[in-house]
Chain A
């Protein structure tokens, strides 16, 4: 297995899928000549040419809609948003076109499209450029949503997304692009809808995804070292469909859970996870489930304030201590 960055794992997935299927094309701002705003599409224009690596004007609504239209005709577009902050301008096409045409047409017209790009906060980019849309997109029937945390999952989930016959949202992370990890070569598919235990444990489950997996792993390490607590880290990987079985299986083992996400608390992903747990595993719980999220504020620019706003290992440890009644 080769060690790759998350960025190069995505690049490999794109390249392999484009080699495999001539109907796959990539469209977005700066994907071609500039080689990608975050270099995910490096080298692809040279290999596949401008008909398949399509530079667009800054017109998110327009090119997202062109993607959906192309998918209506049976192509398999991958639409890159420079970041999900800008994809908000395209929500009409994602929500009203991509997610609904199959249903509205009585099953006649599937929309095999991928919408991808970095989601959530990077560093000191302030409020408009630091937003996690996980909960927004996961709310919509007709979409699938994945949020890989590791290079291997990034490759496997993007390949699965491209081969899926439905609109799939792939939430990446600017802060993840440089993360390195082992990535299986060639045909490596991570099925959509399967969570993954990133660290097994007995005493409490940390349910997380995307960037918060690293946060949870760090918290688990600290708790093992300093408090002798064994925390399980469950990476959801897919937000829709949600792997309820994996969530319930883990909670059945640990009887306690903390749900961690990058987004805001109100009506967030964690709220959905907690709903599943209280409904299906009420009797197995030894403590209320707690959540660690971004502070319920627009993201501040100031470095210290920004750090306070984001989920951190310290906040996860604090929540874990409470569900373990250690305080």
Chain B
């Protein structure tokens, strides 16, 4: 009875949240498809790691955060930047290396920053940003705040020393950090079980006396709820959490990597695509009668238009002035 009441009172808010998350996932999907096109045209250079397939992880987790919380990620961070509210235009402009980009064209795909939104970057050394997350958590604790720091990294980072040093210290110092491992099974072309003695990432939490949860990363609601619990633990008790979120990337490791062939089969990718997080949420909303096909098409059209706009904006934006070469090496 109590549950039923709770459901009725919360239903509109919950549906609004789900609607918003669907919208964000669609935006990320369409944005990444456009980025792939632009890469093929040579408008984006260097390494470019797409987020297609993993949208539910960024969207579900970031919907559980407050504006004054910190977010930090690896180089596969377009999705998190968008879900954090960075405008698609400035993110695309950064991928294009333009002056209007969120890092003024100096960071590129792997180094998206927005200090105002407390989006503390994309970082390119596997596991290198995990200690930075603990440092942000340390600063929160130092100032007596109740914010949290949410840190994304791939499962391959779990084999790096920095991960272990950091989890130990985060636990010892009681830092309000959520360590969110996006386990998409592969680090480039290496399946996790080929290089990890312990293949359930959550188990590492035992070594550091840390709370942990295994989460279905194709279910945006599950990600959202697990992150809420972790954030609560961090805000109230200043305790860190390790979340292992099982997901899958539908594209190659980066734009230069084929979809399948060498390290995974076509069949495997096709099988995983059936778990597409966007269709899953859209399906649920339709089943509940709060979204129809026309409504979904409208959301998708909106996402496509935003992605196209972003490309147009990036295309038309100027390159950084040559004098920018030597600015920002040192602060005043």
Interface residues of A (CB under 8 A from B): 25, 51, 54, 56-57, 59, 61-75, 77, 92-93, 96-97, 101-112, 141-142, 144, 165-166
Q: Is the pair A106, B328 in contact by a Cβ cutoff of 8 Å?
A: yes
CB distance from A103 to the nearest CB of B (A): 5
- In the complex the two chains form, what is the Cα distance from A103 to B136 in whole Å? 19
- Of chain B, the residue at the smallest CB distance from A112 is B331
Contact A66/B134 with A73-B139, A109-B115 known, Cβ cut-off 8 Å = yes
Residues of chain B within 8 A (CB-CB) of A77 are 135
Main secondary structure of the interface of B (DSSP, over half): mixed
Q: Is the pair B138, A105 in contact by a Cβ cutoff of 8 Å?
A: no
Q: Is the pair A102, B328 in contact by a Cβ cutoff of 8 Å?
A: yes
Residues of chain A within 8 A (CB-CB) of B130 are 65
Q: Is B169 an interface residue (CB 8 A)?
A: yes
Contact A66/B121 with A57-B168, A106-B103 known, Cβ cut-off 8 Å = no
- In the complex the two chains form, what is the Cα distance from A107 to B324 in whole Å? 10
Q: Is the pair A106, B135 in contact by a Cβ cutoff of 8 Å?
A: no
Residues of chain B within 8 A (CB-CB) of A144 are 330
B286-332 contacts to A (CB < 8 Å): 327-332
The 9 closest A-B pairs by CB, nearest first: A69-B135, A65-B131, A62-B165, A106-B104, A73-B139, A105-B113, A69-B132, A110-B331, A107-B328
Q: Is B179 an interface residue (CB 8 A)?
A: no
Q: Is B125 an interface residue (CB 8 A)?
A: yes
Interface residues on B, range: 35 or more
- In the complex the two chains form, what is the Cα distance from A64 to B162 in whole Å? 10
Residues of chain A within 8 A (CB-CB) of B65 are none
Residues of chain A within 8 A (CB-CB) of B124 are 96
CB distance from B151 to the nearest CB of A (A): 10
Q: Is the pair B142, A106 in contact by a Cβ cutoff of 8 Å?
A: no
Contact A108/B131 with A59-B165, A102-B329, A166-B331 known, Cβ cut-off 8 Å = no
Q: Can you report 16 residue pairs joining A to B where beta carbons are below 8 Å apart?
A: A56-B169, A59-B165, A61-B131, A62-B166, A66-B131, A66-B134, A66-B169, A73-B70, A73-B135, A106-B101, A106-B104, A106-B328, A107-B104, A108-B103, A112-B331, A165-B332
Contact A61/B115 with A68-B135, A105-B103, A109-B120 known, Cβ cut-off 8 Å = no
Q: Is the pair A72, B104 in contact by a Cβ cutoff of 8 Å?
A: no
- In the complex the two chains form, what is the Cα distance from A64 to B128 in whole Å? 11
CB distance from A163 to the nearest CB of B (A): 12
Q: Is the pair A72, B136 in contact by a Cβ cutoff of 8 Å?
A: yes
Q: Is the pair B329, A57 in contact by a Cβ cutoff of 8 Å?
A: no
Residues of chain B within 8 A (CB-CB) of A59 are 165, 168-169
- In the complex the two chains form, what is the Cα distance from A56 to B104 in whole Å? 36
- In the complex the two chains form, what is the Cα distance from A72 to B133 in whole Å? 10
Q: Is the pair A62, B120 in contact by a Cβ cutoff of 8 Å?
A: no
Residues of chain A within 8 A (CB-CB) of B172 are 57
- In the complex the two chains form, what is the Cα distance from A57 to B165 in whole Å? 9
CB distance from B110 to the nearest CB of A (A): 9
Q: Is the pair B139, A75 in contact by a Cβ cutoff of 8 Å?
A: yes
Q: Is the pair B142, A70 in contact by a Cβ cutoff of 8 Å?
A: yes
Partner of A103, one of B115, B328, B332: B328
- In the complex the two chains form, what is the Cα distance from A142 to B173 in whole Å? 29
- Of chain A, the residue at the smallest CB distance from B149 is A69
Contact A71/B328 with A62-B168, A108-B114 known, Cβ cut-off 8 Å = no
CB distance from B325 to the nearest CB of A (A): 10
- In the complex the two chains form, what is the Cα distance from A101 to B328 in whole Å? 9
Residues of chain A within 8 A (CB-CB) of B135 are 65-73, 77
- Of chain B, the residue at the smallest CB distance from A105 is B113
Q: Is B111 an interface residue (CB 8 A)?
A: yes
- In the complex the two chains form, what is the Cα distance from A66 to B149 in whole Å? 13
Q: Is B107 an interface residue (CB 8 A)?
A: yes
Residues of chain A within 8 A (CB-CB) of B133 are 69
Contact A101/B121 with A59-B165, A62-B131 known, Cβ cut-off 8 Å = yes
Residues 179-192 of chain B: 1 if any A CB is under 8 Å from the residue's CB, otherwise 0?
A: 00000000000000
Q: Is the pair B115, A108 in contact by a Cβ cutoff of 8 Å?
A: yes
Residues of chain B within 8 A (CB-CB) of A72 are 120, 132, 135-136, 139
Q: Is the pair B136, A105 in contact by a Cβ cutoff of 8 Å?
A: no
- In the complex the two chains form, what is the Cα distance from A139 to B133 in whole Å? 27
Residues of chain A within 8 A (CB-CB) of B129 are 97
Residues of chain A within 8 A (CB-CB) of B161 are 61
Contact A106/B136 with A61-B131, A62-B165, A166-B330 known, Cβ cut-off 8 Å = no
Residues of chain A within 8 A (CB-CB) of B128 are 65, 92-93, 96-97
- Of chain A, the residue at the smallest CB distance from B172 is A57
Q: Is the pair B136, A69 in contact by a Cβ cutoff of 8 Å?
A: yes
Residues 102-128 of chain B: 1 if any A CB is under 8 Å from the residue's CB, otherwise 0?
A: 111111000101110000110111001
- Of chain A, the residue at the smallest CB distance from B151 is A69
CB distance from B209 to the nearest CB of A (A): 14
Q: Is B92 an interface residue (CB 8 A)?
A: no
CB distance from A112 to the nearest CB of B (A): 8
- In the complex the two chains form, what is the Cα distance from A141 to B325 in whole Å? 12
- Of chain A, the residue at the smallest CB distance from B123 is A97
- In the complex the two chains form, what is the Cα distance from A31 to B129 in whole Å? 25
Residues 139-159 of chain B: 1 if any A CB is under 8 Å from the residue's CB, otherwise 0?
A: 111100000000000000000
